[in-house]
Amino acid sequence: MPHQSVLLHLVAGGCGGTVGAIVTCPLEVVKTRLQASPLSLRTICFREVNLHAVNGGSFSRPARVSATGVLEVLRNILQKEGHRSLFRGLGPTVIGVAPTRAIYFGAYSCAKEICNSHLEPETKAVHMLSASFAGFVSITMTNPIWLVKTRLQLDESRGRQRQTSTLHCVRNIFQTEGMRGFYRGMSASYVGISETVIKFVIYEELKQRLNGRGQGLTPPLQSLAGIAPQQQQINFLALMLAAGVSKTCASIIAYPHEVIRTRLRQKGSRYKTLVQTTRLVYQQEGLRAFYRGLQAQMIRQIPNTAIMMTTYELIVHIAGKV
């Protein structure tokens, strides 16, 4: 792919991330609720009722049994909090996704250019180093935004008690926890860089194989614009498939860090550090707890990543032809 300015990658990455985040926001809320819940996906929930015995005494027994899964969490949110709650945290998402993706893709592009000049170009080592650096930079700069988003998504209050604005949440965090409160969960996010590394390694490999020339996506996208030779044509859906496959593999492998990060970001949480949280969740809830919300994550992230990556590549291509 021809050299592009850093500004172009910033804009393309920001636009792609924004579009994908808005479309999939309801599933993000469901996923966050599941990650923070102490219940497993199939844990029995009891609501006790008092029953009078023959001798005048009383005892309690469960009134109903239910399983907490994606559909039930979605139904509970709609029934108890209304449809607007499915977009809770969208404000910080819209504010944060553009600079986060922009910083990420800009850093990735710069790091990749530097690595290509010192190492064998377009190798897996180049992709891994570039993705790691980009992840570290974007996490460090934008963690406060995502902490606020998580707090809003976990807020189940209604009416006047509800945190109605992002600014109210920010003010509350600052007053009760100080500046350090905005960086809770950042250690787990650093661990999550492994997901990004795996995703980009697979994505770049699939992209090169689909292109057939190992030179990026310029020839395939030229065919979509009608300015490339017939033999260079590639179905646009194939690009989305490459992004989806890469994200699926990476998410399954690295997903536990998301559960740990959500627990660390909870208000008034008993979870303090990365190691302590990992040990506590494992001891009290078992190994399955680290994959709570994975179903919602899969449903959300596959289309989200596909939209993000294809939007990014398309904008880069179009801008390069202007």
What integer pLDDT is reported at residue 68 of this predicted model? 62
CA distance to 6, 173, 291, 301, per residue, from 147 (Å): 27, 10, 20, 19
In a domain, 181, yes or no: yes
What integer pLDDT is reported at residue 20 of this predicted model? 80
What integer pLDDT is reported at residue 84 of this predicted model? 83
Q: Which residues of 61-93 are buried (b: 16+ CB within 10 A; e: fewer)?
A: eeeeeeebbbeebbebbeeebeeebbebbbbbb
Spatial distance between the Cα atoms of 76 and 128, rounded to a whole number of angstroms: 41
Q: How many residues does the chain have?
A: 322
What integer pLDDT is reported at residue 16 of this predicted model? 79
What integer pLDDT is reported at residue 39 of this predicted model? 56
Dihedral-angle region of residue 164 (phi above 0 means left; psi in -120 to 50 means alpha; beta otherwise): alpha
- Tell me, what amino acid is at 182? F
In a domain, 129, yes or no: yes
Domain tally for the chain?
A: 1
What integer pLDDT is reported at residue 236 of this predicted model? 65
What integer pLDDT is reported at residue 102 of this predicted model? 80
- Check the CA dihedral 99-102-104-110 and report its sign: negative
What integer pLDDT is reported at residue 158 of this predicted model? 63
**313 close to 44: Cβ distance less than 8 angstroms:** no
What integer pLDDT is reported at residue 290 of this predicted model? 94
Q: Which two tokens stand for residue 162?
A: 């509800």
In a domain, 14, yes or no: yes
What integer pLDDT is reported at residue 256 of this predicted model? 94
In a domain, 54, yes or no: no
Spatial distance between the Cα atoms of 234 and 30, rounded to a whole number of angstroms: 35
Q: pTM for the full model?
A: 0.72
In a domain, 234, yes or no: yes
In a domain, 257, yes or no: yes
pLDDT mean for each 10 residues of the chain (322 residues): 63 79 86 81 40 44 49 87 85 83 85 91 84 91 94 76 75 92 94 85 80 47 42 58 82 91 89 94 92 88 77 81 66
Look-up: residue for tokens 């939007």? 311
In a domain, 232, yes or no: yes
Domain of 16: which CATH number?
1.50.40.10
SS3 state of residue 48:
strand
- Find the domain containing 208 and state its range: 6-38+69-156+164-321
What integer pLDDT is reported at residue 97 of this predicted model? 76
In a domain, 62, yes or no: no
What integer pLDDT is reported at residue 100 of this predicted model? 82
Q: Which two tokens stand for residue 158?
A: 């209604």
Residues in CB range of 239: below 8 A, 6 or more apart: 207, 210, 217, 220, 309, 310, 313
What integer pLDDT is reported at residue 301 of this predicted model? 72
Spatial distance between the Cα atoms of 11 and 297, rounded to a whole number of angstroms: 26
